[in-house]
Each structure stands twice: as structure tokens, then as C-alpha cells.
Structure 1
Amino acid sequence: MTEITKVECWVLRAPVAKAVATSFGIMTSRPAVFLRVSAADGAWGWGEVFCNFPQVGAEHRARLVDSMFAPLLKGRPSDDAPRLRRELESQTRRVAIQCGEPGPFAQIISAIDQALWDMAGRRAGVPLWRLLAPDGGTAGNRVHLYASGLGPKDVAVNAARKRDEGYDAFKFKVGFGSDQDITNFAEIRAALGEDATIMVDANQAWEHGTAAARIAELAPYHPQWVEEPLAADEPAAAWQRLARDCGAPLAGGENLRGLDAFEQALAGGWFSFIQPDVAKWGGISECREVALLARRHGAVFCPHWLGGGIGLAASLQLRAAMGAEGFAEVDANPNPLREEVFPLAPQDGWVSLGDAPGLGVEPDLVRLKPYLTTY
């Protein structure tokens, strides 16, 4: 057993010229919390804490790491990520309830889990996609990407730009009113052609009484999937009714927590595409279990990601480990905390991950210094 000796956080915040809009809010900067776990044998690993919303959340999560999780981790074994993830969740469950913050706690534990898997890959000298593969490491290292975060304005123009950069699948934001949503879909479909793979993301915008009608308006443009049309905590009956009535495949999962929630959604059959986020809940350990659940239930595992480069690397490594089926999400909006940490150059929509051990990334903290903030 090799003990954990140190847990460190860096909070970064990159200004953006144009705010990133969703149906529920906007991001006026691009934040990230990068976390590094070090062990007594000199090994280390990186993880990333989800912190997009609220916009002040990055600093708060880093303070939680320093004040609560770093002391809990010191001296703990570093060589069993799934076990330590379960122990941390159990150990902090009641205080998470007490302070009303199960989400931030889950996000921090997820980053710790990523870091321990990165450490495991570095120790073994193998890329994480090989270490995680359920077939004994014979999975390929190729991942089919889609460009996401398009809209609500200039959707067709920006999709064409991403096509020129090597993407062949695209997702744009809806939930901004019927007229704008329909116009955007008509324009992007006309720009990319009838055979292009196009998804839409409502970000929980619609009520269960109107969602089917909103989806019906978009159905003539043939969405690959409609993502999060309802609030994630709507009852199972509402999701089942919508999946039955709407006439389009549904996707979701980034805002679910716990294997039971994913099991219910997959067994209930309302998601054709399941989208856990390695930095929101479960880290790599539990999102891998979700991917295996999806395989058993006939759904497609397409991990969600809209943050910096460390979490993107974790997301792509996990998708690659599960084989070539499905897509992985890459934000189309400018973000130096992604681009300068894990740059991608897709060809015909695909990217091949290298053989660097672990996550395959080592953030250059000197280069990122202009984005560092104090907390």
C-alpha cells in the first residue's frame, strides 16, 4: 500500500469575449479546478472538479478540497480508486446532507477518483483506455467526437467552422423559444446537409406538459437525440411518457447521481443515449459502471463534458476503453483551459488517443499562470 501524501488545487478562470449561453444561464468566464494527488512513492495523478455553475463555484470547491478532503485523504491508500471513492462518499454523506451540498461533494470526489486512475496508469506505464477496457485491454484508442455548445446564435456558421476543423457531428442549444429553435435547426440542417449528424440539447428547459410538442416541432429536421428535455428530477412516469410520445431518441444523465438513478433510467428505457459526467458524479470508477449498465440495457454511452482539458482527457479515455460505439463531447466554444491542456485535431470526426500513460496530460502550470486565481 502506498499512502497519499498531498492533495493540491489550482483554480483557473479564463475570460471569454462572448458569453456561453444555455437555457438556464450564461457563463461569462470559463472556470476550472485542477486537482493533483501525490503519493509516497513519488507518483501523482490529475483530476478536474466540475465548477461551471454557479459562476462563483470554482473557488468554493477548492476551499472544500483544502479544508475537508485533503485532511481526509492524507495517509489513505492510493492504489484502489473505486474503493476510496466509495469510502469518501460514505464518510462525507451526512455532512453533505447537513450543509446541503451533495453536488459539490460528489464533484470533488469525482476529481479525486480521476486523479487516482491517472496515477494508476502512470504507475503501470499504460494509457488509461487500455487499463479500463472491460475486454482485457484490447479496445481501440479511437473516439468519435461531436462539437457541442453551439448556439443560440450563429449556429450554422459555427457548425460549419467546426466541420472545417474536422468534426462530423454537432450539437446545438435549444430551449430559447420555438421560433428561434426551429430557425436554428433549419439553418444548421441546410448548411450541413441532410446526412449530417445533429443533436439538440434543451438543458432541462421544458415542462413535461409541453416538451413533447417542442420536440415534435424539431422532429422534421431529424435530431440524432434530444438531450435533457425535462428537469433531471422529474418522476419516472413523466420521462417514460415523453419517450413514448415524442417521436425522437432522448439523451441525458449528466445531472443524475448514483447507480440506482442510472439503473432506473436505463431499465425504464427512456434514454437511448446515456451521458454521465466524470466530474459531476462517480468519477471514472462509477461512470465506467454506467457504461457497462448501458451496454446491458441496449443504450449508447456518450459521456458528457463541458470543462477544461483534464476532465476532457478523462472522458475520452473512458469512452475509448468501452470501444468505438458512441460519441464523446467536445465543447465548440473557445476555452484556453481546454485547448492549452488537451488540444485535439479530429480527422473525419475521430481522434486517436496516444500511448502516454494515465490520462495522457500534464498541465503546464507556468503556461497557465495568467489564468490562475486566488481563493
Structure 2
Amino acid sequence: MTDGFTIRSIEAYCYRYPLAAPVVTSFGRMLNRPAVFVRAVDEDGVEGWGEAWSNFPAPGAEHRARLVNEVLAPGLVGLKFDGPVHAFEALTKGTEVLALQCGEPGPFAQAISGIDLALWDLSARRRRLPLWRLLGGQSNKIKVYASGINPDGAAQTAEAALERGHRALKLKVGFGPETDLANLTALRRIVSAGMLACDANQGWSVTQAIEMLPRLAEFDLRWLEEPIRADRPREEWRRVRLLAKMPIAAGENISSLEAFEDVLAEDILGVVQPDIGKWGGLSVCTPLARDIRTSSKTFCPHYLGGGLGLLASAHLLAGVGGDGWLEVDVNDNPLRDLYCGPVLNVRDGMVELDQEPGLGITPDLSRIERYRSI
């Protein structure tokens, strides 16, 4: 088959899985786990699957699904594209004014990203290549870390993750020094000399972050993620970096090439974490990930959603290579576990991707029909 394709259909499916225990961050709680899966089919009947970021706000997932189904998909059906990048550029440029008019560049970028991931999966299937190899990968093995470890029951969650094969952990902080330091002490004891990172989710002021840095230094952290708000002046980020004894990480809330170019040109972030379901898809984030690597920073894809986006993130990391880790949420979520393929099988801190075309799976959505909201 040729690289080009004509789109027959694109459809988004929205799901919500109710949680017994909320997922907690420094800025709020998730009472359920949403997922917006996207299916694209071309005129030859080849299909591809993607996922749009939809965690916040609470009703956001249904909105992203409607953007795909009612706004974006009708403008693509019947059109021929040379490849996913061509479609991504057409969608982005074609909706720029509309996104500005309604004040929603974020939701549009997320919906477009979900379509983009589906078209990359479709393209890899057309080429009969695993997606990681289409993206230039030489090895199908990647490192992973257990993420989403809440302040309540952190030690138990971490121990369970290690039993499932993880060797690296990331703790959520920003809940007060006493709670944060007690949890870090417990996790450092559990993971011993292995990788331990923490994520403040933009929860501190620059003053609070600077006050915490000496107290964090004793834990030999692989990185400190988003200690302050993503939109704070670069000088504040620079102050934190100069006083930090560990690398600083961020990227999930950066949403322009210009902003990433600034990040790569300066010595503030040591770990850069774009989210392919939130902005840029694979069309933008694949070359960006290569730039991150050549800038001598560590590329670690951010992801905290359903299984299809997680699996695509794994293929991206394998595709570009490097010493980064894939983020794997360890909270209860069948919308992730049923559709992340081999990422569910962590062995000694590693995951081995399949050799099957595309993402390597065709999701059976009938298994989660009871959670469907659109």
C-alpha cells in the first residue's frame, strides 16, 4: 500500500470509569477516569486508533468527543492525505480561527491529537510495520516508571507496583511538607537505590519550592516535576533550577513549538515531557522528542489517561530511543489496562512492545460498553 490514504470515517467514543478511591493531585481530585478513544478508517478499510487527553475539567471528555465527531471529522471525510502530518497540519490550520473565536485552543489541540494518533496507527498498519519501527526505532524495549502514587496509602501503592515488575516510582507531592516528606521517606526505603521522582503538579509558589529544595535533596530524586506553575516567568524557573540538587522536569503543560524551543535552548529543564494526547500528537511530538534528545536533555513522554494513548506513548519512546522512562499510571483503571497491550506486562522495570503492525492491538470496545457516556 502507498503512504497516502483517503479517510472514510472518523469517530470518537467517550467513556467514564467510576472510582472507589479518587486520584489526587495538588490542584484537585478525579472522581472517575475518562477516556476519549478515536477510530479512523480509510477507503481501503484499514483502521487506526488514537486517544485524546480529557482528564480535566470533569465534563471535558464528552466535549472533546463532540469536537471530534461534530466539528473535526466532517471536514476530513472523503479527503486524501499524503500522511498523518499532512492531515494534522490541515486540521490545525483549518480550525485556528474557530479555536480562537470560542477561546478553546486546548480542547481543539487535544481532539486533533486524538485523530492524529489514530492516523499514525492507520499509516503503520498500511505499511505493515509496528508503529515504533515506523517512527525510526531500533529496539522495542523501553524503561517505565510507576506514576500516580497518591499521598494516601503511598507506601502500599508503591509496594504493589514493585510486585508487578516496576523498579522506578514517582510520588505526587504538594500536600504539605509533613505529608510529602513522610511519603518520600517511605518510598525511598521501598525503592532503595532505584529511581524515585516526585511531581508537585504546579502546586508551589517559587518561595515554597525554594523552601522545599533543601529538604528534598536527601532523597536522591531523579527529578522534581512542575514545582511551580507552568506559566510563571522563566526567571522564577531559573531560580528554582539554580538551587535544586536534582533535575527539574516539565512539559505536559507546554503547548507550542516556540515554547519548547525556548526550553531546549536554556539550562532549566533536565527532563522534558510532552504529552502526545494533549498537544501535537505524534506529528509534532516525534520530531520534538528527537530535538529533546539532541539537546542533551532526557525525553520522558507524559501520559495519565486510557490505554491507547499510553500505548502510543510507548511506541514514541521506543521510536526515538534514548534513556527516558515511560510514565505508567498504577491507579485502578480498566480503560487503561484493557487497551495498553504489552505495557501492562512490566518485567524488571522494562516493557517489550509487539512486532505487530501499528499499535499492535485492535480494541474490543464491547468490554467497556457499560462505561460509555457518548
If the TM-score is normalised by the length of the shorter chain, which range does it land in?
A: over 0.9
1:230 lines up with 2:195 in the alignment: no
**One-letter code of the match for 1:213?**
E
Say which SS state the counterpart of residue 31 (structure 1) adopts.
strand
**1:231-268: CA deviation from partner (whole Å, max 9, x where unpaired):** 11112222122111222210110011111111111211
Paired residues of 1:167 and 1:347 also in contact (CA < 8 A): yes
**One-letter code of the match for 2:355?**
D
Paired residues of 1:144 and 1:324 also in contact (CA < 8 A): no
Within the candidate set 221, 229, 241, 1:243 is matched to 241
1:58 lines up with 2:61 in the alignment: yes
Paired residues of 2:311 and 2:340 also in contact (CA < 8 A): yes
1:354 lines up with 2:344 in the alignment: no
**Which range moved further: 78-87 or 116-125?**
78-87
**One-letter code of the match for 1:308?**
G
Q: RMSD of the alignment, in Å? A: 1.2
**One-letter code of the match for 1:102?**
P
Within the candidate set 108, 112, 115, 1:109 is matched to 112
Q: Could you tell me which runs of 5 or more consecutive residues in structure 1 were left unpaired when the two chains were aligned.
A: none
1:122 lines up with 2:125 in the alignment: yes
Within the candidate set 1, 4, 15, 2:18 is matched to 15
Q: Distance in 1 between matches of 2:235 and 2:86?
A: 34
Offset at residue 4 of structure 1 (A) = 0.8
Counterpart of 1:174 in structure 2 is 173
1:6 lines up with 2:4 in the alignment: no
Within the candidate set 189, 202, 205, 2:203 is matched to 205
Counterpart of 2:269 in structure 1 is 271
Offset at residue 324 of structure 1 (A) = 4.7
Q: Distance in 2 between matches of 1:230 and 1:267?
A: 20
Paired residues of 2:7 and 2:41 also in contact (CA < 8 A): yes
Counterpart of 2:213 in structure 1 is 215
Q: Distance in 1 between matches of 2:79 and 2:115?
A: 12
Residues 118-157 of structure 1 mapped to structure 2, 5 A cutoff: 118-133=121-136, 137=137, 139-157=138-156
Counterpart of 1:163 in structure 2 is 162
**One-letter code of the match for 1:284?**
L
Within the candidate set 90, 94, 118, 2:93 is matched to 90
Say which SS state the counterpart of residue 364 (structure 2) adopts.
coil
**One-letter code of the match for 2:364?**
D
Offset at residue 78 of structure 1 (A) = 4.2
Q: Distance in 1 between matches of 2:79 and 2:185?
A: 55
Offset at residue 326 of structure 1 (A) = 0.9
**One-letter code of the match for 1:355?**
Q
Say which SS state the counterpart of residue 279 (structure 1) adopts.
coil
Say which SS state the counterpart of residue 368 (structure 1) adopts.
helix
Offset at residue 290 of structure 1 (A) = 1.6
Say which SS state the counterpart of residue 49 (structure 2) adopts.
strand
Q: Distance in 2 between matches of 1:315 and 1:187?
A: 29
Paired residues of 2:168 and 2:191 also in contact (CA < 8 A): no
Paired residues of 1:313 and 1:361 also in contact (CA < 8 A): no
Paired residues of 2:92 and 2:112 also in contact (CA < 8 A): yes
Paired residues of 2:223 and 2:249 also in contact (CA < 8 A): yes
Paired residues of 1:78 and 1:116 also in contact (CA < 8 A): no
Q: Distance in 2 between matches of 1:109 and 1:89?
A: 7
Q: Distance in 2 between matches of 1:76 and 1:222?
A: 52
Q: TM-score, normalised by structure 2?
A: 0.96
Offset at residue 205 of structure 1 (A) = 0.5
Q: Distance in 1 between matches of 2:18 and 2:32?
A: 5
Say which SS state the counterpart of residue 108 (structure 2) adopts.
helix
Counterpart of 1:192 in structure 2 is 191
Say which SS state the counterpart of residue 110 (structure 2) adopts.
helix
Say which SS state the counterpart of residue 366 (structure 2) adopts.
coil
Q: Distance in 2 between matches of 1:42 and 1:75?
A: 13
Q: Distance in 1 between matches of 2:213 and 2:263?
A: 20
Counterpart of 1:70 in structure 2 is 73
Paired residues of 1:313 and 1:360 also in contact (CA < 8 A): no
Q: TM-score, normalised by structure 1?
A: 0.96
**One-letter code of the match for 1:338?**
R
Moved over 6 A (4+): none
Offset at residue 79 of structure 1 (A) = 4.0
Paired residues of 1:310 and 1:361 also in contact (CA < 8 A): no
Q: Could you tell me which runs of 5 or more consecutive residues in structure 2 were left unpaired when the two chains were aligned.
A: none
Q: Distance in 1 between matches of 2:119 and 2:159?
A: 38
Offset at residue 47 of structure 1 (A) = 0.8
| Identical counterparts, % of pairs | 45
Residues 292-307 of structure 1 mapped to structure 2, 5 A cutoff: 292-307=290-305
**1:8-58: CA deviation from partner (whole Å, max 9, x where unpaired):** 111111111100000001100011000111111111111101101111111
**1:201-236: CA deviation from partner (whole Å, max 9, x where unpaired):** 000001123212222221111111000111111122
**One-letter code of the match for 1:159?**
A
Offset at residue 373 of structure 1 (A) = 1.6
Offset at residue 5 of structure 1 (A) = 1.5
Q: Distance in 1 between matches of 2:20 and 2:74?
A: 38
Counterpart of 1:371 in structure 2 is 371
**One-letter code of the match for 2:254?**
L
Paired residues of 2:173 and 2:200 also in contact (CA < 8 A): yes
